[in-house]
Structure formats: C-alpha cells, structure tokens
Amino acid sequence: METAEPVAPDMTEDIDEILVTGEEIRTRLAELGKLLDADYAGESPLLVGVLKGAFMLMSDLVRHMHTPVSVDFMACSSYGSATRTSGVVRILKDLDTDIEGRHVLLVEDIVDSGLTLDYLMKNLRARRPASLEVLALLTKPAARRVEVPIRYRGFEVPDVFVVGYGLDYAERYRNLPFVGTLKPEVYQG
Ligand code: IMP
C-alpha cells in the first residue's frame, strides 16, 4: 500500500569516507574484551562511559567481556565550537557510584585534543580509585594538546572530524554503525 509518510533522507548520503567499518570495530572490541578480561581477572571493575558519545561503545564492549563489571556514566559538556573543544569542561551528570578503592576504566569515544580526558582523569583521581585506566575507541594523535595516558586503544584516525558509532555532528549520525567523515557541504548547511 502507498503511504503519504515523508521518507527521511538516508544519513549515509552525507558520508564522504568510511574510516572504520562496523566489522573492524567488532573485531577490535572482541580483542579488547579479551585483554580486559585478562587484565581485570579476579576483579570487578567499574566501567565509566562518557556520554553521549560512548553509549554504543560501552554497550558493545561489555558484551565482549566475561569479567563481572559494573557500569556507570558521566556526562560533560565542553565549551567550544561545533567541532573543536575549548578544554573548559562542565560535568552535567556525575557518577552514581562512589569509586574510592574501585578499579575504574574510563570508556571514551574519541580522544582529540585530550583536554576533556585530562580534566576527567584529574577529577576521578581525586576520588581515590584503586586504579584508573582509559579505553578510547578512537584517538587523533595529531590533534593532541595535552598528553593523556590511554591504556587501551581501538583505532587511530587522522585529525579530521568524524561521526558515527556514537559520535555526532549537531546530534546527528550517532546511530551509524561505522565511523566516517562528512561531506564538506554538510557543514556548510
Ligand atoms: P577533546 O577534549 O578535544 O579530546 O574532545 C573530546 C570530545 O569532543 C569527545 O569526547 C567527543 O565528544 C568530541 N569530539 C572530538 N573529536 C570529535 C570528532 O571528530 N567527532 C565527534 N566528536 C568529537
């Protein structure tokens, strides 16, 4: 039957290039899951996802782990332009969990300048966890302004703005199952 419903344009039409496929992400998360199981054997770590970007990563990552984990989330906003952070971070949602004495793994979508992560690490360290490590799906080494210790990495990407697999541009494209770049005309509106 014909429907009068308007059809939303396909998001994939806005993608210029796919940098990391869904298959590559699955394979890498399976490897990281094994590594985390080995490193946290006998412990029950707390995985802290940084919203909103890490929501998809967190959900897929924990399914690759057999270690009993707890999960919690933080949300922060960093002031800046649409595609660049300023380093001034505001916590919008704090943890529900007291992390003192816990083994904490901070789960980040992407480390770009490193300013957000640097702020979060200092903030969490002050709460005296037993350990604090970082897993980042994506890192942009060329964009780094402050050195941050990333123990577990998914993929390195060039210093370009990327979307998909949790990452957005103006709140769109988070549900793409891969990571890619946008066509220039998308930014120009
Ligand atoms: P940083 O403080 O510059 O490392 O940036 C941290 C945050 O900025 C990330 O957690 C993302 O939410 C956002 N971000 C940085 N680069 C990108 C990108 O290429 N695409 C989408 N979001 C990004």
pLDDT digits (tens, 9 = 90+) for 3-51: 666 666 788 999 999 999 999 999 999 999 999 999 999 999 999 999 9
Closest protein CA for atom 21 of ligand 1? 167
Long-range contact list for 150-154, CB < 8 A, 24+ apart? 150/111, 150/117, 152/32, 152/35, 152/36, 152/105, 154/20, 154/25, 154/28, 154/29, 154/32
What's this model's pTM, rounded to 2 decimal places? 0.92
Residue recorded with tokens 């949300």: 75
**pLDDT confidence of 143, banded at 50, 70, 90?**
confident
User: Which one of 112, 118, 159, 168 is the catalytic residue?
Assistant: 112
For residue 148, the tally of other CB atoms under 10 A from its CB is 20
**pLDDT band at residue 187 using 50, 70 and 90 as cut-offs:** confident
pLDDT score of 77: 82
Read off φ and ψ for residue 173, nearest 5 degrees: 75, 5
Q: Are 90 and 124 in contact (CB under 8 A)?
A: no
Q: Which position has the token pair 């890619």?
A: 180
How far, in Å, CA of 84 to CA of 81, rounded? 5
Q: Is 112 noted as a catalytic residue in this protein?
A: yes
Share of the chain above pLDDT 70, in %: 90
- Backbone region of residue 186 per phi and psi (left: phi > 0; alpha: psi in -120 to 50; beta: other values): alpha
Nearest ligand 1 atom to the CA of 115 is 2
